[in-house]
Structure 1
């Protein structure tokens, strides 16, 4: 009996993990929202086989006409490609919309990386671009949060690729470094306190431990309110909050922890200067995760190099493209139109 116990427990653990995987997949692919923008895309998708340098399989989906202008969507921490449903639904008819899961997220494998950092994610982005772009094609890169940090790291590590593979970029709700030092997501820290007439910095150890904690998000009212208040904003539509929370809840707690530590330690320097293509920067006025001061710094570098198209502040929290779907899509449409017009003129 005792000899069979470990095998029995192992089998039970595998069954439980299997159930959790099914649950997480259900959260990612859930439909039935009144707002059709949030529902799974009606457009058919092509699954593109992509392997990272260490052999990890990355889940990559492509929507829309194969010969249309490619747009590559890169999600943020604890999210997945379904996070971009509002943009896929809006643009898949006219554009070749490509979205993928960062390693460890969604259905992409975590692999066995020697070191987990944004430079590794930059390598993964290379693998995706090489797989989805035909010779001579240049994509519009759209990154949110960690996805936009991946774009910055990629531009800094592979500057020779930027003008060859990218026509324009959009960076949303992101930063280059000092995330713990600037975040206002923890109440009373990194924000002016009138009674004390000073600002109390968030201790590095607290920020690091908070970002790397194996936090879970049970679907209860108090957690939903905290998520809305600290990650999004209380002004956001309840359905958008529900959608965003489902996406975040679908992430494995181990991945949330591993990548949270990555964010706490991340320092990309001024890698954004290497984005020598027309670049738009978007920030949220109520973004406590990555306050607008980060975007302002990135925008200033791009302005100095003459590559900043516009810097836009949306009245949102951290998940700007969910909270202001129409406003974000209008900005993205401007980027795509600016790329498509020269191509049509020469074609």
Structure 2
């Protein structure tokens, strides 16, 4: 397997489909590059009118700005939509610092610094690793949460225990079984040796095209209900990610504990999980929900019916939730301005 060229990766992210929601938005993007302290160049796109309320979209592992096509197309007429490539993903570079919860957090700070006006607040939505990014930001920059976020959406994400709780490939991180029977030696559960499983999960190898990749995408990441267009859209996005960035971020996420960040989300926060999510199963959303309920900041909790890529496979429901969040935040801001003017 050979590394994909820049042109090929760009083509994979921008293919045309019969399903309109997956195609490049008709709204023009204002493109900018945000430089981080360690020299990473982050590609940032801004859609919509400068005067509109801002919605920040943060993609997940091995994805890019293009992953958000179904949401950019839906919201850019009414909102100022900001989306960026996380470091090493899409057109962003890796920088000199190894990926970690610190880089996730500080990169978001850099993007918000570059795209929000002083005193401006945005609805900030993160999917999967994007949800981890928001919680890492809240953990390491807690004062910024109330200053820059009017509301938060955490979709198909977690705050800890990813290494052992993901169900993407149970043979790599769960007790080995033969049929329905657990394998034990002297009563001790048998697992694949951790160095072996990690070398497979974190290896910086290109993802090949073909039948096997399609089956994994349909049956392990999405669900059998996914359309061919949705499967091929997701494969194109993920295959376009540089293997080194994909491997390093997988290794970084495996042992993150962002529980403190969850507790620091002191703005209305909505959680989305999916009943068929195997990558970050629904049970991983429970600690988020429990913490947010305890702190009084849980705005809502939705369980959508399909797989990990809820914004792709359950687009209508996902967009409805996000629109409600954005509308509520906008009305709340307008009410505060009117009261302040009295």
TM-score of the alignment, normalized to the shorter chain, above 0.5: yes
Q: CA deviation at 1:29?
A: 1.6
Q: 1:107 to 1:300 in 2, by over 3 A?
A: same
Alignment of 1:1-347 (within 5 A): 20-31=5-16, 33-113=17-97, 115-187=98-170, 190=174, 195-196=180-181, 203=192, 204-345=194-335, 346-347=337-338
Query: What per-residue deviation string (whole Å, max 9, x for no partner) do you get for residues 294-316 of structure 1?
Result: 11111110000010011111112
Counterpart Cα distance in 2 of 1:80 and 1:202:
33
Counterpart Cα distance in 2 of 1:312 and 1:162:
22
Counterpart Cα distance in 1 of 2:108 and 2:58:
9
- The aligned residue for residue 8 of structure 1 is none
Question: Which region of structure 1 is more displaced relative to structure 2, 138-147 or 224-233?
Answer: 224-233
Query: Contact 1:230–1:288 at 8 Å: present in 2 too?
Result: yes
Query: Contact 2:64–2:89 at 8 Å: present in 1 too?
Result: yes
Query: Contact 1:28–1:82 at 8 Å: present in 2 too?
Result: yes
Question: 5+ unaligned residues in a row in structure 1: which ranges?
Answer: 1-15
Greater RCO, CA 8 A, separation 6+: 2
Q: 1:217 to 1:185 in 2, by over 3 A?
A: same
Q: CA deviation at 1:342?
A: 1.9
Match of 1:149, SS state, is: helix
Q: CA deviation at 1:187?
A: 4.2
Question: 5+ unaligned residues in a row in structure 2: which ranges?
Answer: none
Match of 1:293, SS state, is: helix
Counterpart Cα distance in 1 of 2:155 and 2:190:
25
Q: 1:273 to 1:29 in 2, by over 3 A?
A: same
